[in-house]
Amino acid sequence: DADVTQTPRNRITKTGKRIMLECSQTKGHDRMYWYRQDPGLGLRLIYYSFDVKDINKGEISDGYSVSRQAQAKFSLSLESAIPNQTALYFCATSERTGENEQFFGPGTRLTVL
Amino acid sequence: ILNVEQSPQSLHVQEGDSTNFTCSFPSSNFYALHWYRWETAKSPEALFVMTLNGDEKKKGRISATLNTKEGYSYLYIKGSQPEDSATYLCAFPNTGGFKTIFGAGTRLFVKA
């Protein structure tokens, strides 16, 4: 079984709809992250969380919100989806020590029409 | 805003060729550098975590070097194979690892 899972894997939605992307991990890591990837650009950080009570904005948090329901679960919400949020979204986890590598989920391909 | 740059953007080589690409990052406040391999339709997977100036890491035919004073890292692949075809990302976590800046990647195509 995968250590980091994301649901759904693909989603097509319409402008203005609310959508939630979910991430679960079995690695026991404290740190969790949400990234988006657009063609020609690197992964860009949306939000990150160091534990259930610690949530922080990344470089492109506008239009997104998150919830850390438990150590193992970190959800990303688009309150009112817009077409330029069409992208590939990745959840990732890492151990407490910063220099450790991140472990990525399989990604969610989101299309906003 | 910190900038992490990778070159070239893409690279086409023949099977058996050796190749290398570059990651440039800010040399001040260095904390760590990560290399990831990202195959199409899969998720990125870590290749190397590098923390010390002069670090050299190796995994099979793939190796990496690090120069923190001048702000660059090289990734080398010896005797490229078609299965090496992937996007190679470098990533620069800030001090404490709170935020990681990813480069746009080098897309490698290895033709049999």
Kindly state whether A63 is in contact with chain B, defined as any CB-CB distance less than 8 angstroms: no
Interface contact flag, B97 A99, Cβ < 8 Å: yes
pLDDT at A71 (0 to 100): 94
Interface contact flag, A100 B97, Cβ < 8 Å: yes
Kindly state whether A60 is in contact with chain B, defined as any CB-CB distance less than 8 angstroms: no
pLDDT at B28 (0 to 100): 84
pLDDT at B3 (0 to 100): 85
pLDDT band for position A97 (50/70/90)? low
Residues of chain A positioned with their CB less than 8 A from the CB of B34 = 101-102
- Checking if the pLDDT of A57 tops 80, the result is yes
Q: Which of B31, B34, B104 sits opposite A101 (nearest CB)?
A: B34
**pLDDT by 10s per residue, chain B, length 112:** 568 999 999 999 999 999 999 999 988 878 899 999 999 989 999 999 999 999 999 999 999 999 999 999 999 999 999 999 999 999 998 777 778 899 999 999 999 9
pLDDT at B65 (0 to 100): 98
Kindly state whether A39 is in contact with chain B, defined as any CB-CB distance less than 8 angstroms: no
Interface contact flag, A40 B104, Cβ < 8 Å: yes
Kindly state whether A102 is in contact with chain B, defined as any CB-CB distance less than 8 angstroms: yes
| Mean pLDDT of the residues in chain A | 93
pLDDT at B1 (0 to 100): 52
Portion of chain B with pLDDT greater than 90, in percent: 80
Is there a contact between A65 and A79 (Cβ–Cβ < 8 Å)? Answer: yes
Interface contact flag, B36 A45, Cβ < 8 Å: no
Residues of chain A positioned with their CB less than 8 A from the CB of B95 = 98
Closest chain B residue to A4 measured between Cα atoms? Answer: B43
- Checking if the pLDDT of A37 tops 70, the result is yes
Three-state SS sequence of A9-59:
CEEEECCCCCEEEEEEECCCCCEEEEEEECCCCCCEEEEEEEECCEEEECC
Is there a contact between A31 and A93 (Cβ–Cβ < 8 Å)? Answer: yes
Instruction: List the beta strands (DSSP E) in B1-112.
Output: 5-7, 10-14, 19-24, 33-38, 45-50, 56-59, 62-67, 72-77, 86-93, 100-102, 106-111
pLDDT, tens digit, for every residue of A60-87?
A: 999 999 999 999 999 999 999 999 999 9
pLDDT band for position A1 (50/70/90)? low
